[in-house]
């Protein structure tokens, strides 16, 4: 379909900006800087969110993820950088141009539900549609469609105070999708819910994304939410973008030691070792023994020109298999602690001075100080340069 175009003249720099109206929602952030006084909260953020992505902004508190969401929504104005949605310029800090939030074709769902307490569920959702002066029939169709999508149509005549937290959150999301936004922004929407409701709502959001095809930007500090729902994850660290990848790639190959330590539950095992590049291969020695990794498994990270250097081996607990009998290539270890927890068992193993975790599905009991053998697929081991903290050998 051909795009309708109109031109806005930028008088300050005598440039033309061409605006295109369509149903796509590709977002590009380039060189975004945001300061609060002397506090540099966003540092040269460059991020592209493709049309139809479920992009999660992940990281600990204070890392800049919510500020990035607010920049996209128009609630914050960055001091540097540009942003476009479908090629239409929404931010140009050099020209002090910031498109109003209402011009960006998006809806925002907050951590607090922000429902009108004096309105029924139906009226809460219909309110914004009435402002857009839609017909009564169209409003009814959209309200009921969004309620059915979130499986709460039976509550349409109730007031928010008569609903549970999970039901209120569904109303807030139904209100957001009723106007068919091309971009949906969600700021930690599940953080006020209990663990069971969070699991239920993750499933609903994943289904909602599949049914609508809407581009979603989702902010959370919960890695489980990010790994289970997203098509891509942007991992933040101290106001910077640390890594942008699919959930599988982020989990399997964190870009540095901080990312590796942040992602995964139970935590990843980090063991010190010594490494050296010999004939293009990486030779690693640690309490787990010796390993040789071929060149094709190595990253483009620069290695020392010669000699040994300190490294860190990173191994996911579920990648370690425990055998009670000797197995060729397995590492002899002892049981330091054994913690069956219903659906899974976490066992602490000891090799030399190193302790590390193994994870089994189901309830498996070992005796303390029992000798066992750890089977580790070396292809699944990540190796990091200890000095730079960067990934130098990928898991495959």
Torsion over CA of 281, 286, 288 and 292, rounded to 10 degrees?
10
15-21 and 4-10 strand pairing: antiparallel
Which residue from 91, 53, 59 is spatially nearest to 72, judged by alpha carbons? 91
Give the C-alpha separation, 25 to 212, whole Å.
Answer: 13
pLDDT for the residue numbered 23? 52
Q: In what order do the strands lie in the sheet with 80-85?
A: 39-49, 27-36, 80-85, 88-92, 97-98
pLDDT digit string, tens, across residues 263-281 = 998 999 999 999 999 988 9
pLDDT at residue 101 greater than cutoff 50: yes
Contact 111/189 with Cβ under 8 angstroms? yes
Confidence of residue 18 (pLDDT cuts 50, 70, 90): very low
- Tokens in use for 234? 């942007």
Q: Is 395 helix (H, G, I), strand (E, B) or coil?
A: coil
Average pLDDT over residues 328-339: 95
Q: Left (φ > 0), alpha (ψ -120 to 50) or beta: where does 168 sit?
A: alpha
Give the C-alpha separation, 283 to 294, whole Å.
Answer: 9
Confidence of residue 253 (pLDDT cuts 50, 70, 90): very high
More confident residue, 342 or 89: 89
pLDDT digit string, tens, across residues 170-222 = 898 889 888 888 899 999 888 877 888 888 888 888 888 988 888 999 999 99
pTM above 0.85, yes or no: yes
Contact 293/393 with Cβ under 8 angstroms? yes
pLDDT for the residue numbered 76? 96
pLDDT at residue 3 greater than cutoff 50: no
- Tokens in use for 32? 């975004």
pLDDT digit string, tens, across residues 20-67 = 334 568 999 999 999 999 999 999 999 999 999 999 999 998 999 999
Give the C-alpha separation, 196 to 206, whole Å.
Answer: 16
**Where are any strands of DSSP class E within 180-260?**
183-187, 215-220, 232-237, 240-245
- Tokens in use for 219? 């902010």
């Amino acid at each position: 379909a051909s795009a309708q175009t109109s031109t806005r003249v930028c008088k300050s720099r005598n440039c033309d900006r061409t605006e295109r109206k369509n149903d796509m929602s590709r977002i590009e952030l380039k060189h975004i800087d945001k300061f609060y006084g002397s506090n540099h909260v966003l540092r040269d953020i460059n991020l592209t969110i493709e049309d139809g992505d479920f992009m999660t902004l992940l990281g600990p508190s204070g890392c800049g993820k919510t500020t990035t969401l607010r920049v996209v929504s128009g609630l914050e104005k960055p001091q540097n950088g540009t942003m476009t949605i479908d090629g239409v310029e929404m931010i140009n800090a050099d020209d002090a141009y910031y498109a109003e939030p209402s011009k960006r074709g998006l809806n925002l769902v907050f951590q607090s539900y922000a429902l009108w307490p004096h309105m029924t569920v139906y009226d809460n959702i219909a309110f914004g549609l009435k402002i857009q002066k839609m017909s009564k029939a169209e409003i009814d169709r959209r309200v009921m469609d969004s309620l059915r999508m979130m499986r709460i149509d039976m509550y349409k005549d109730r007031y928010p105070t008569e609903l549970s937290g999970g039901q209120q959150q569904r109303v807030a999301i139904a209100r957001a999708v009723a106007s068919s936004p091309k971009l949906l922004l969600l700021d930690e929407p599940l953080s006020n819910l209990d663990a069971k409701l969070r699991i239920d709502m993750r499933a609903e959001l994943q289904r909602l994304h599949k049914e609508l095809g809407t581009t979603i930007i989702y902010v959370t500090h919960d890695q489980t939410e990010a790994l289970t729902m997203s098509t891509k994850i942007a991992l933040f660290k101290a106001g910077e973008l640390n890594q942008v990848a699919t959930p599988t790639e982020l989990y399997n190959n964190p870009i540095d030691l901080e990312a590796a330590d942040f992602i995964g539950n139970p935590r990843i095992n980090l063991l010190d070792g010594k490494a050296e590049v010999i004939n293009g291969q990486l030779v690693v020695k640690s309490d787990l023994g010796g390993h040789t990794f071929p060149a094709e498994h190595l990253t483009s990270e620069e290695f020392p020109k010669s000699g040994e250097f300190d490294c860190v081996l990173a191994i996911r607990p579920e990648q370690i298999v425990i055998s009670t009998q000797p197995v060729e290539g397995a590492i002899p270890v002892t049981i330091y602690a054994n913690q069956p927890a219903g659906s899974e068992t976490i066992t602490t193993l000891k090799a030399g001075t190193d302790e590390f975790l193994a994870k089994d599905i189901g309830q498996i009991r070992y005796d303390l100080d029992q000798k066992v053998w750890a089977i580790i697929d070396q292809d699944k081991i990540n190796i990091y340069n200890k000095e730079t903290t960067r990934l130098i050998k990928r898991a495959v």
